Chains A and B, each alone.
Chain A
Amino acid sequence: MTTTARQTDVSRRRLRFEVARISSAVRQWAILAAAIIELLAPTVGGTADTVLMIGLAAWATYRLSTRAQSSAAIAGDVAVVIVLGAALPFVTTAAAFATELNLPQATVAVSISTFGVQLAVSRSAATLLLGVGAYVWGAVTLVGWDSALLINNLLPITGGWIGAVVLRRAIERVASTSNQAHLDRLRAEIANAIAETRRNDDREQLALLHDTAAATLLLVGRAVPVPVERLAAQASRDLAVLQAPPVDDPSAPVDVVELLRAEIAHLDLPIDFTGLDHLWLDGARAGAVCAAAREALNNVDRHAAADSVIIYTGRNRLEITDDGRGIASGARRGHGVDESIIARMHRIGGSACLHSVPDIGTTVELQWADTDADEPVDLGDDLVRQVRSRYGLALIAAAVLLLPIAVWRSPAGGEVLEIGLAVAAALCALAAAPRVLHRPRWSVWVAAAALAGIAIVQKGTLDESQLGTYADWSQGLLGFCLLPHLIRLPAASSVAVLVTLWTTSSLVDLVRNPSLEMTAHLGMGIPAFLVPQIAACLFSARVWDALVDARRENRARLRLETNEAVAEALQSECIRRYSGTVDRLVPLLQTLSRGGPITDELRRQARTECRRLRTLFDESGVDTTLLSQRIQSLIGQAEQRGVDVTAHVDDDLPALQEDTAEHVLNHIDSALEHARTWARIVLTTANAEVDLSVVCDVSKESPSESQQPHRGVDVVVADDKMWMTLRAG
């Protein structure tokens, strides 16, 4: 089973893909929202501002509609960030810059954070530098060099980037290590399944042999006075079973493509196969699909007069397209199409449809359900739990880190009450820790209520002029404190709760100052805070889906490889083990089915075959050890002399040293020498040693005194039986 590096990285690939999609979407939505709000309620106004906003909106809309992930698209986004930073003077005033959230800050911070999550560290660091550089240039142009103010502004941008990088790192690491673990586990499961299938198949084969031929031969060998006609009838039935083609196990995997190739061999049509090279389905479905396809091909052969036929094999469909006469619409579909094709596919839960254009051609499309997709994927494993809990902890850490920054930036931030409220909010976030790691459910509502309360109190401490500025830190930050509680809720509910919290705190502000300006201030918080918060909620659901998909893909891929391996293994084993046996049994059974004559020679042969079958059965499922093989050859020699030998060797014999094995074999040999007409050899495990026992009938002349009992060998003689035992190991 070969795996490439690509295969081992399925989880990571999927996650990266999802992460890139969400990051990109967040970026564009933030820019779009900010641009629209700025257009509706501009801080500065003026043509430059308007043109810039329209341009931004257009870019964001374009990106959202094409969803490209190419380097060119990302480069475009970076360029937008630079433009945003540099455009500071056009978008905001010096006074506003110092006190409130402005569009460039919101959008640059969000964009750089998303770059931090989406891109490799080195690249996102480059975007950070470019963004910060542009922003600093814009700020300096606007207000001159004011280091404190600059740092105040750059903190959230840099902080956001650092947080994003950490998040990216955490998820990547978990994904890659656990993907390997999942693959390994799958492989082990599948190896077990193969072994299990082999064992079952073995048992089936032997059961068949025993139930049929062995039973009949037993009676013959033991000279049970069963009437010859009854034996003959039984032997005929046995022959019919043994010579019949193998019973179709409805669950055994079959290669549909192979079957089809065999089918078309006798058709005089130019047929091309496209799509999958192998299509493994269970026997029942494969049979139905092949039969339906056969019917369709027969129709093509008979009616279509086609120049070419293409058979396309997909994972759950088969299409047979020909370029022949086609079927005129309204023409009665013959029995061949309706009953055979459509009904067969319905019976296995699939469907068939026919598209035909007169003089152009016909396509018959067969579809069936992909049972792999229905299989419940094991979601209880460590990876998903780990990712969720780490994600939750990361969210808590982010909230706890952002709070001091926000409070520090707020002009009223030094006051005890402010600090106290921030601590309370931090505690709300930390309260999610047990929820993240374990499972209580009530904390969401309590936390949401508590945070709403904190917001109301915090805004109450502000005067009207401070509303909507940096002093109004609870507006944006409290959503981050609520996030860790929300990740276990379904996406829709969590978004609803967030939006409610946001709306509530916005209303508190609007009630005190119901103006367009206030709406604009609050609106700027949407791209800066609400959009990332919503994205964080949705991200968790997407990650889950991505992991489930990755699991499914792993499973499907390995299963495909396994089915091939299993079928191949079974094929070769079958031929190896049983064809020889069946070849020997058939002539015997044929003699019996003809009514005999049942000679002594026939009885002897029957006994030998019974003995061989019994040995085969005893050792089924176990690799024939060297010891067993050598015992078999000794038995063969004894049988040449006319001695009937039965042998039983334990499955779990301990491995013997070479000299011990020789010792055992020598004693078997010498015991068999004394056997007159029958012998029974038993090798069993006794602790870490091996117990050998040989019982045989001996002639009266074989004196017991001639037995030189070797050390460890016990010999018992009773009437005409001798019993030798030996312990070795």
Chain B
Amino acid sequence: MTDEVEGSEVASVAVIDDHEAIQLAVRIWCEQADPPIPIHEGYGSTTEFLTAHPGAPPIAVIFDLEQSEHRPDFAGLKRAAAIGHRVIVYSHLAGDEVIMRCLELGAVTFILKSEDKSHLIDAVRAALLNEPYVGPRMAKAIFHDRSVGRPKLGPREQEVLIAWFQTESKDLVGQKLEISSTTVRTHLQRVRAKYAAVGRPAPTKSALVARAIQDGIISLDDL
């Protein structure tokens, strides 16, 4: 199965979910995507995954936050991110503090299981390319973030965040704010890059920031 994505360091995608049906569903969605995304392997727990991928090369992993203990596995997330794996948290948990904690620990993005599958696909593609991505529910959590040490967001960025959460459609957001949907995407990417630059360090966060600077999404002055 050829890897269709070019210019990225990450070559494969894995799924961690104790619910087999979800693993299967994700695999099917990725296969149905255009162009298809190959799912490398499915794992039932973080421990299984880390045993199989204890170090480099890093891979993108769709990570169910609540596995069998019915408690969020922040420790597992932290371990995976510390190795450099690009963790896309995929969860039914929707609390702002949970989402911000995941970002703090080094997850690249957070997608709710109840959001449309297109968000998951976009998130996976972005993770493969090491591009910043903001899911709709994640956008709301960032919008409401009042913690000390949070990055400064411009008024336009804040408008985009809340509108993205409300509509889950870049077209609608662009239409309302009278900007193109590409510009909407850029704003969201800027926000994500700014967040990657603050808080406790993690290899995934610094990689995201470096890539964002390289791509011109943000400049050092913005940080």
Q: How far is the CA of A695 from the CA of B164 in the complex (A)?
A: 11
Q: How far is the CA of A293 from the CA of B175 in the complex (A)?
A: 72
Among listed A262-270, A446-454, A717-725, interface-contacting one: A717-725
The answer, among A208, A218, A695, for a CB contact under 8 Å with B114, is A218
CB of A216 within 8 A of CB of B21, answer yes
The answer to whether A725 and B166 touch (CB under 8 A), given A211-B19, A218-B114, is yes
For the complex, is B70 an interface residue (Cβ under 8 Å from A)? yes
The answer to whether A716 and B114 touch (CB under 8 A), given A231-B21, A234-B19, is no
CB of B172 within 8 A of CB of A718, answer yes
CB of A222 within 8 A of CB of B70, answer no
| CB of A717, distance to nearest CB on chain B (Å) | 8
Q: How far is the CA of A22 from the CA of B53 in the complex (A)?
A: 70
For the complex, is A540 an interface residue (Cβ under 8 Å from B)? no
Q: How far is the CA of A695 from the CA of B171 in the complex (A)?
A: 12
CB of B70 within 8 A of CB of A208, answer yes
For the complex, is A634 an interface residue (Cβ under 8 Å from B)? no
Q: How far is the CA of A695 from the CA of B168 in the complex (A)?
A: 9
Contacts of A617 in B (CB 8 A): 92, 94
CB of B171 within 8 A of CB of A224, answer no
CB of B117 within 8 A of CB of A214, answer no
For the complex, is B5 an interface residue (Cβ under 8 Å from A)? no
For the complex, is B25 an interface residue (Cβ under 8 Å from A)? yes
CB of A695 within 8 A of CB of B169, answer yes
- Give the interface SS of chain B, mostly helix, strand, loop or mixed: helix
For the complex, is B179 an interface residue (Cβ under 8 Å from A)? no
For the complex, is B29 an interface residue (Cβ under 8 Å from A)? yes
CB of A680 within 8 A of CB of B25, answer no
The answer, among B25, B144, B165, B172, for a CB contact under 8 Å with A219, is B25
Q: How far is the CA of A718 from the CA of B178 in the complex (A)?
A: 12
CB of A718 within 8 A of CB of B175, answer yes
The answer, among A610, A646, A682, A685, for a CB contact under 8 Å with B165, is A682
The answer to whether A230 and B21 touch (CB under 8 A), given A208-B70, A617-B92, is yes
For the complex, is A673 an interface residue (Cβ under 8 Å from B)? no
CB of B171 within 8 A of CB of A719, answer yes
For the complex, is B208 an interface residue (Cβ under 8 Å from A)? no
The answer to whether A210 and B28 touch (CB under 8 A), given A234-B19, A234-B21, A684-B140, is no
* Residue of A208, A225, A695, A718 ringed by the most chain B CB atoms within 10 A: A718
Q: How far is the CA of A225 from the CA of B28 in the complex (A)?
A: 7
CB of B171 within 8 A of CB of A226, answer no
For the complex, is A215 an interface residue (Cβ under 8 Å from B)? yes
For the complex, is A204 an interface residue (Cβ under 8 Å from B)? yes
CB of B19 within 8 A of CB of A682, answer no
Contacts of A680 in B (CB 8 A): 166-168
Contacts of A207 in B (CB 8 A): 66, 70-71
The answer, among A208, A216, A686, A714, for a CB contact under 8 Å with B176, is A714
* Residue of B21, B70, B92 ringed by the most chain A CB atoms within 10 A: B21
Contacts of B92 in A (CB 8 A): 210-211, 214-215, 614, 617
For the complex, is A519 an interface residue (Cβ under 8 Å from B)? no
| CB of B175, distance to nearest CB on chain A (Å) | 5
Contacts of A219 in B (CB 8 A): 21-22, 25
Contact residues on B (Cβ < 8 Å of other chain), bracket: 20 to 34
CB of A211 within 8 A of CB of B114, answer no
Q: Mark B161-201, 1 if CB is under 8 A from A, else 0.
A: 01001111101100110000000000000000000000000
Interface residue ranges of A578-637 to B (CB < 8 Å): 610, 614, 617-618
Q: Mark B17-38, 1 if CB is under 8 A from A, else 0.
A: 0111110110011000000000
With both beta carbons as reference points, the residue of chain A lying nearest to B31 in the complex is identified as A225
Q: Mark A220-260, 1 if CB is under 8 A from B, else 0.
A: 00101110001100100000000000000000000000000
CB of B114 within 8 A of CB of A646, answer yes
Interface residue ranges of B124-175 to A (CB < 8 Å): 140, 144, 162, 165-169, 171-172, 175
For the complex, is A693 an interface residue (Cβ under 8 Å from B)? yes
Contacts of B78 in A (CB 8 A): none
For the complex, is A639 an interface residue (Cβ under 8 Å from B)? no
| CB of B47, distance to nearest CB on chain A (Å) | 18
Contacts of B211 in A (CB 8 A): none
For the complex, is B119 an interface residue (Cβ under 8 Å from A)? no
For the complex, is A691 an interface residue (Cβ under 8 Å from B)? yes
Q: Mark B91-120, 1 if CB is under 8 A from A, else 0.
A: 010100000000000000000011001000
The answer to whether A226 and B28 touch (CB under 8 A), given A646-B114, A716-B175, is yes
- Give the interface SS of chain A, mostly helix, strand, loop or mixed: mixed
CB of B162 within 8 A of CB of A226, answer no
Q: How far is the CA of A646 from the CA of B113 in the complex (A)?
A: 13
Q: How far is the CA of A682 from the CA of B140 in the complex (A)?
A: 11
Q: How far is the CA of A691 from the CA of B163 in the complex (A)?
A: 11
The answer to whether A230 and B24 touch (CB under 8 A), given A207-B70, A646-B114, A723-B167, is yes
With both beta carbons as reference points, the residue of chain B lying nearest to A208 in the complex is identified as B70
Contacts of B162 in A (CB 8 A): 684, 686, 691
Q: How far is the CA of A208 from the CA of B171 in the complex (A)?
A: 36
Contacts of A218 in B (CB 8 A): 25, 113-114
Q: How far is the CA of A132 from the CA of B140 in the complex (A)?
A: 82
| CB of A704, distance to nearest CB on chain B (Å) | 12
Contacts of A225 in B (CB 8 A): 28
Q: How far is the CA of A693 from the CA of B20 in the complex (A)?
A: 35
Interface residue ranges of A289-339 to B (CB < 8 Å): none
Contacts of B22 in A (CB 8 A): 215, 219
* Residue of B22, B92, B140 ringed by the most chain A CB atoms within 10 A: B92
Q: How far is the CA of A557 from the CA of B64 in the complex (A)?
A: 43
The answer, among B20, B66, B113, B172, for a CB contact under 8 Å with A230, is B20
Contacts of A234 in B (CB 8 A): 19-21
CB of B176 within 8 A of CB of A222, answer no
CB of B25 within 8 A of CB of A723, answer no
With both beta carbons as reference points, the residue of chain A lying nearest to B117 in the complex is identified as A222
CB of B166 within 8 A of CB of A693, answer yes
CB of B21 within 8 A of CB of A226, answer yes
CB of A204 within 8 A of CB of B70, answer yes
Contacts of A719 in B (CB 8 A): 171
CB of B114 within 8 A of CB of A610, answer yes
Contacts of B167 in A (CB 8 A): 680, 693, 695, 721, 723
Q: How far is the CA of A219 from the CA of B176 in the complex (A)?
A: 33
CB of B94 within 8 A of CB of A618, answer yes
Q: How far is the CA of A695 from the CA of B175 in the complex (A)?
A: 13
CB of B24 within 8 A of CB of A226, answer yes
CB of B21 within 8 A of CB of A723, answer no
With both beta carbons as reference points, the residue of chain B lying nearest to A610 in the complex is identified as B114
The answer, among B19, B24, B172, for a CB contact under 8 Å with A695, is B172
| CB of A142, distance to nearest CB on chain B (Å) | 81
CB of B21 within 8 A of CB of A211, answer no
Interface residue ranges of A425-452 to B (CB < 8 Å): none
The answer to whether A718 and B171 touch (CB under 8 A), given A204-B70, A207-B66, A618-B94, is yes
Q: Mark A274-285, 1 if CB is under 8 A from B, else 0.
A: 000000000000
CB of A215 within 8 A of CB of B113, answer yes
The answer to whether A716 and B172 touch (CB under 8 A), given A682-B165, A693-B167, A723-B167, is yes
The answer, among B29, B66, B114, B117, for a CB contact under 8 Å with A614, is B114
Contacts of B168 in A (CB 8 A): 680, 695
| CB of A612, distance to nearest CB on chain B (Å) | 12
The answer, among A204, A226, A686, A693, for a CB contact under 8 Å with B25, is A226
| CB of B64, distance to nearest CB on chain A (Å) | 9
Contacts of B66 in A (CB 8 A): 207, 210-211
Contacts of B114 in A (CB 8 A): 218, 610, 614, 646
Contacts of B71 in A (CB 8 A): 207
Can you list 5 A-B pairs with a CB-CB distance of less than 8 A? A211-B18, A211-B70, A218-B25, A224-B25, A721-B169
With A219-B21, A219-B25 already in contact, 6 other A-B pairs whose C-beta atoms are closer than 8 Å = A211-B92, A684-B144, A718-B175, A719-B171, A723-B167, A723-B176
**3 tightest CB-CB pairs across the interface, nearest first?**
A693-B166, A207-B70, A210-B92
Binding site for B on A (CB under 8 A): 204, 207-208, 210-211, 214-216, 218-219, 222, 224-226, 230-231, 234, 610, 614, 617-618, 646, 680, 682, 684-686, 691, 693, 695, 714, 716, 718-719, 721, 723, 725
